[in-house]
Structure 1
Amino acid sequence: MTQHNPHSVPLDPGVFVPVGVRAWQDGYDEAISSPPDVPRTPLVRDPDYAGAWADGALAGNADGRAEGWRWAYFEGKVRPEPKDEAIAGYGPQDSGEPEGTTFSFAHSWPCVGERPLLVMVAQFAPGESGGDGLTGRSLAQACADKGVRQLYLPVNLSSSQPTKEPTGDALHDAGYWHGTVSESLEEAAPEAIAQVTVRVPSFAGLVRYAPAAEHNFFDLLPVDGLLPPER
């Protein structure tokens, strides 16, 4: 069973969010995308951040071993090759999506990362909080409030040069094009497919999000299962 952030978030708006919320989530995300060992705690000045980060990393490593590792694709991590049983199965799965007539989204990669979720929060639930460890829970709550089971975001899978001046768009600032968040594959697929057909060579796909409590979990569905060669 997936472990959850033990640090509580204040219910009253405007109240300071404890540093442990973000720190635990940062450690968890780093560990579940870093098989097979628990990553080293970063050197930081704040002992509360370091302690919560280390606790999150232990939880993320345990969940990775028990439930499967996740790829921090948009955080710049290269997928490690499975060399032993600890990281076996770290690869694509059946997406469960219907086959298209021309292009397919048959494969899904279990991923983790805040960047695409920040974009989804901004588009799907403007005004809701992102960052500080709140992104996943904000998006999950917005989906629950609106009765939405899944969201899709078209993305380019190759990054260009990051923007010199931050725009506030987490994917664009990291050099990734993205489209408009939608509630169905049928709505989102044409934007992703257009990136493949009008730009040569180009690799695109869909970020598929299903509410996962506070976690920054999503599936990456490449068009025709194709990823950039450097990945």
Structure 2
Amino acid sequence: MPTQNPYASDDNNAMFGSGLDAWEQGYEIAISSPPVVPETPLSRNPVCNTAWTEGALAGNADGRSDGWRLRLSDTGSGIVPENWPDVVGAESGGPDEEAMGFPKRFKGVGYLPLTLMLSSIAPDTEDGKSRTAPEQVTSLATVCGDKKYPSLYLPLYAYRSEGPPRSDFWHGEATASFGEAAHKLKENFSNSRFIDPQTPALIRYLPGSEHYFWDWLPLGSAY
């Protein structure tokens, strides 16, 4: 069972961030960066420093015991999955997924795709960058509960941008229908107008998932 965030009831939103957010950041980086515990980034807030370190230790421990998770990078190289060699794939979880070309799933972590989902299914709940990642993910779970969505899917793939070597990404609308999301991904990817489209996949989110957990379902069995 994943380690719980001890700052979950902390309402300290100091100028440089809260312990809740810092702990989740440390956890996310560590559980997707095997095998060593990452260094704590410098912060002027001692609460955040401590929380980040505690989160990183917990993430590393959970990665070792429950399996490492991939995350999506958007730091100058587009949104692409990281740490493929370290993350063990499993069956996607249902006959529909396998029949439509998604036989594998990889455990993922990170708030980035979840905020994309939130802006897709409930754009009026978005409040720009003023909202913290935990607040946005909590809103996503609430919206899914209100709409009675048992799961949510986001079609997404990366592609190479023109100009200096870098990548970007395309994503469709989030939907509770696996079939609809799969169709949109295949249709857009096969007729992509972008340069070198790659890593087509669905992101599957289960409302109530701990931390920023989700599943990565790549199209095809090449991963």
1:167 paired residue number: none
Contact 1:161 1:175 in 2 (8 A): no
**CA gap 1:224/1:115 in 2 versus in 1, 3 angstroms:** same
1:211 paired residue number: 207
Once superposed, which parts of structure 1, at least 4 consecutive aligned residues long, lie more than 4 Å away? 15-18, 99-103
Q: What is the root-mean-square deviation of aligned Cα atoms in Å?
A: 2.8
1:152 paired residue number: 153
Q: How does 1:1-231 map to 2 (within 5 A)?
A: 1-7=1-7, 8=9, 10=11, 16=13, 19-75=18-74, 78-79=82-83, 81-82=85-86, 90-99=87-96, 103-126=100-123, 127=125, 130-158=131-159, 160=161, 175-199=168-192, 201-203=196-198, 204-213=200-209, 215-226=211-222
**CA gap 1:21/1:100 in 2 versus in 1, 3 angstroms:** closer
Identity of aligned residues (%): 38
TM-score, normalising length: structure 2: 0.79
Secondary structure in structure 1 of the residue aligned to 2:54: helix
CA distance in 2, matches of 1:101, 1:38: 35
Contact 1:118 1:131 in 2 (8 A): no
Secondary structure in structure 2 of the residue aligned to 1:225: coil
TM-score, normalising length: structure 1: 0.77
CA distance in 2, matches of 1:28, 1:6: 12
Shift of 1:102: 7.9
Secondary structure in structure 2 of the residue aligned to 1:69: coil
Question: AA paired with 2:205?
Answer: Y
**CA gap 1:114/1:221 in 2 versus in 1, 3 angstroms:** same
CA distance in 1, matches of 2:220, 2:50: 42
Deviates most, 215-224 or 95-104: 95-104
Spell out, residue by residue over 1:61-83, the C-alpha distance to the aligned partner (whole angstroms, 9 max, x if none).
1211121110013356631635x
CA distance in 1, matches of 2:106, 2:159: 16
- Where does structure 2 lack aligned partners over 5 or more consecutive residues? 75-79
Spell out, residue by residue over 1:133-162, the C-alpha distance to the aligned partner (whole angstroms, 9 max, x if none).
333332223222332110001101346479
Question: AA paired with 2:69?
Answer: R
Question: AA paired with 1:31?
Answer: A
**CA gap 1:158/1:114 in 2 versus in 1, 3 angstroms:** farther
Question: AA paired with 2:40?
Answer: T
Which structure has more strand as a fraction of its residues?
2
**CA gap 1:213/1:220 in 2 versus in 1, 3 angstroms:** closer
